[in-house]
Chain A
Amino acid sequence: MIKICKVTKTYPNGTTALRDVNIHIKKGEFVFFVGASGAGKSTLAKLLLREELPTKGEILVNGVDIVKLKRRQLPFYRRGIGVVFQDFRLLPEKTVYENVAFAMRVVEEPRREILRQVPAVLHLVGLSHKSRMKPSQLSGGEQQRVALARAIVNNPPLLLADEPTGNLDPDTAWEIVRLLVEINRRGTTVIMGTHAREIVDTMKKRVVALEGGRVVRDDQRGAYGCEEAKAPFVLPEVGEPSGL
């Protein structure tokens, strides 16, 4: 689904964030991008979103070289990707419902679809009862679940999460990861950039480790660090609210 071939990214100020990166990701995979701060995780996400262009190399998504996309085609490419960020990026003046519906309005879904789909994803992330609240009235975890709902409401084949748990306490972080796993189980390819060692170690999913802009490790059932993690694959129980 995604082929990142020999990609180098040097920002205009001279910082080289990625060097000769090769990553192939198949449809339906769940991949962690890990690495210290400044390793290049966010840069990779920006390249995939085509917010930035690679200095060298190719990025193929579903066989399309996204570097060559025209400005006119860009919105339609992005409709295939759901995004979640560390800082949620919700619209403070809109309700939870409107924040999610927004993503559907923007791609001009018919009203009928919006009325059907938004409550369904809000139910999936366990926020049906708070759909009329503003983001400021929600906890961090709840806000991130709204962001997640917005990211998946259009059923994108790819979900890109850049440190989605970065601002959350461990329990709340697990709520989000459980949701990502659920979304992945339904067929969406999930890419998650993270520092959360415990989560990565527990999940035993594919891990791509970056260091100074290079891929230093790519394990199919990996851990955050090099040493083999002992913990078995168990999803910790987290109260009720996720509704899964």
Chain B
Amino acid sequence: MRISTWEFYIREALLSLRRNGLMSLASVSTVALTFLILGLFVLLVFNLDHVAGTLESQVEVAAYLDPDLEDGAHLEIAKLIKEIPGVKESVFVSQGEALDRLRVQFGDRQDLLDSVEDMNPLRHSFEVKAKRPEDVKVIAAEIARLEGVADVKYRQELVERLFNLTRSIRIAGLAVVVLLILATIFLISNTIRLTVFARRKEIGIMKLVGATDWFIRWPFILEGIMLGFLGTLVSIQILNRFYYWFADSVYSSLPFVPVVSPADTLRQLTLFLFGLGLLVGAFGSLVSLRRFLRV
């Protein structure tokens, strides 16, 4: 198609946007609001996933050994643990090392530990990591059956609950967003319908002088796309500002909470929302064109 034809389409679409000012504004606002909510959901789910993932990668099985085990018996147990399928690595933590770790954690209150120094109440243990998180349960059970292992602990439950939470949020978010997108498509198609109506005379003349259906449709589709684009632009601006602010506050006040880093996430989100925005705009106008351009 000719470049001058595209110029013509774009000029017509812009003219129409301006002529329909108020309705256009309403459409742009709806797109912006919908995408703002969509964006917030996406960011929330990303972050919950990230937190759960971080916790999950830290999940390990702690196997505490019988306190009255002979010295050196742990070497045999280590071998058996390594043979369990799905085990990634296992590290032996001796009584002494466990106490050292405690010291590090206690920082400047070493005095609390001094009293237990002589009769170290801690036990030798293995810290076992699984190759895949979902194997943790089975591995823990296997280890518990080994001779000389007194007790097995793991933090699976928290992670499972977190994953359940993200799943529910994802489903609820999806439902809300689908509804909002439908509403947006409806509003855009309404706006385009008004434009089609306002320009029915022009369309009639176009048909009389031999315009093809697509020639008539394109300016309207472009108008829808522009509405989608403008709305997305607004929502992206707000999301960007908000998320940088949010990540910043979390970093500075709750440094141990893992937040998805803004730059990458927002780049992906921007691309996704723009793609969706243009689609929603184009689809919105196609819906009304299909119904109102039959002549």
Contact = CB atoms under 8 A, between A and B. Distances in A.
A106 B4 contact: no
Contact of B8 (A75, A77, A105): A105
A102 B5 CA distance: 11
B255 interface: no
A60 B117 CA distance: 110
A66 interface: no
A89 B205 contact: yes
Interface in A60-79: 71, 75-79
Interface residues of A, number: 21
Contact of B210 (A71, A79, A110): A79
Considering residues A49, A103, A150, which has the most beta carbons from chain B within 10 angstroms of its beta carbon?
A103
Interface in B189-218: 201-202, 204-213, 215
Given A76-B210, A78-B209, A106 B215 contact: yes
A237 interface: no
B202 A106 contact: no
B5 A105 contact: yes
A108 B209 contact: no
Contact of B209 (A77, A103, A110): A103
B147 to A, nearest CB: 83
B201 A89 contact: yes
B265 to A, nearest CB: 44
Given A91-B201, A91-B202, A105-B8, A110 B2 contact: yes
Given A91-B202, A91-B205, A107 B211 contact: yes
Interface in A98-125: 102-103, 105-108, 110-111
B254 interface: no
Contact of A106 (B1, B201, B209): B209
B132 to A, nearest CB: 57
A149 interface: no
A103 B207 CA distance: 10
B179 to A, nearest CB: 36
Nearest to B3: A111
Interface in A164-195: none
A215 interface: no
Interface string B1-18: 110110010000001000
Contacts of A89: 201, 204-205, 208
Contacts of A78: 207-210
B208 A49 contact: yes
Contacts of B211: 75, 106-107
A150 B215 contact: no
Nearest to A77: B210
Given A83-B208, A83-B209, A106-B210, 11 more contacts: A49-B208, A75-B215, A78-B208, A89-B204, A91-B205, A102-B205, A105-B4, A105-B5, A108-B2, A110-B2, A150-B209
